[in-house]
Amino acid sequence: MKPAILIVAMSAIGSAMLAGSALADTTGKKIAFSNNYAGNSWRQAMLKSYDIVTKKAVADKVVAAADVFTTADKEVPTQAAQIQNLILQGYDAIVINASSPDALNGAIKQACDAGIVVVSFDGIVSEPCAYRVVVDFKDMGKQEVAQMAKFQPKGGNLLEIRGLAGTSIDEAIHNGILEGVKDHPEFKIVGSVTGDWDQTTAQKAVATVLPSLPEVVGVVDQGGDGYGAAQAFAAAGKPRPTIIMGNRQDELEWWKEQKAKDGYTTWSASIAPGVSTLAFWVAQQVLDGKKVPHDLLVPYLAFTQADFEAELPKIPKGSVASHEYTQQDAIDAIKANMK
């Protein structure tokens, strides 16, 4: 590595030099981001974080390109075709938020066979050749019910709001919620709607089902739907339930208002949208020749009654609590998962 290149690399990624990362090895590499959906605040925050981090990485000549491709719909065939196009366009790596954990495996395998590094996150894929940046969504769903038991110790009826159908996230959180209810038989799920992780969609779905439900003491969900659920219950004149939140600004603001009014308590959790940047850095590390496990477990971001108000001012209006990862964060996550 030439000294001039080393100086550029070190100035671009501060502490990366401590890990001995050979940034120049990826200077000519091109990374594509295949995204299947952008229609809610979480996905918008995800794309914004990715744009901030990767634009700097390209400007600093860490990689040659970090282009984003979002499908026009949420359908698996559309994303599969997109991946095949990215293969033909000669990208060295593909970071993917997948529309299905297994239906894209054929296209993913084609990419791997072409020598392309594939890193999935959030919506992960099961194809063994791909890397996965994984949050324990099942545990998050289970924790929702465990937290609910603290706020509603007598138990009661729950409404479940599910996410984007067919994704690994939706299935994992749902299964975690079912396990949580099994551990806490004082609760019963009496209704389930699809909210697409979006406040407006969730509000409409909850409003439609509420008239047919018995009294609901709590709402378990997947993020991006808490405020919509609250609005639906209020509009229907129904008693306010304990609603698990998903780290969105409007949810936490509503929580703050309810807490000020009468001490309303709940819990909030979600994957940080900036995990897209961690997936980018993982792809860069693989391209740089680093040994990386195919599954990297990272924690979800949770807030309690004691700390959510401190986070609220940091979240842009209409957005969601996030964290943008550095290359050093990726190196640290890789090391932690190698143990």
Domain segments of the chain: what residues? 3-135+272-300+329-338, 137-270
- Given this model, what pLDDT does residue 276 score? 97
The superfamily in CATH containing domain 137-270 is Response regulator (3.40.50.2300)
Q: Do domains 3-135+272-300+329-338 and 137-270 have the same CATH topology?
A: yes
Q: Is the alpha carbon torsion for 173, 314, 36, 327 positive or negative?
A: negative
Question: What is the pLDDT tens value at each position of the chain, 339 positions in all?
Answer: 333 333 333 333 343 333 434 444 899 999 999 999 998 899 999 999 999 999 999 999 999 999 999 998 989 999 999 999 999 999 999 999 999 999 999 999 999 999 999 999 999 999 999 999 998 999 999 999 999 999 999 999 999 999 999 998 999 999 999 999 999 999 999 999 999 999 999 999 999 999 999 999 999 999 989 999 999 999 999 999 999 999 999 999 999 999 999 999 999 999 999 999 999 999 999 999 999 999 999 989 999 999 999 999 999 999 999 989 999 999 999 999 997
- Residues contacting 88, CB < 8 A, separation 6+: none
3-135+272-300+329-338 CATH: 3.40.50.2300
d(CA 226, CA 248) in angstroms, rounded, equals 8
User: What torsion do the CA atoms of 120, 123, 129, 134 make, to the nearest 10 degrees?
Assistant: 70
Strand partners, 219: 159, 243
Tokens 């196009």, located at residue: 85
Q: In this structure, are residues 145 and 177 in contact, taking their beta carbons and an 8 Å threshold?
A: yes
- Residues contacting 59, CB < 8 A, separation 6+: none
The two structure tokens encoding residue 268: 């909030």
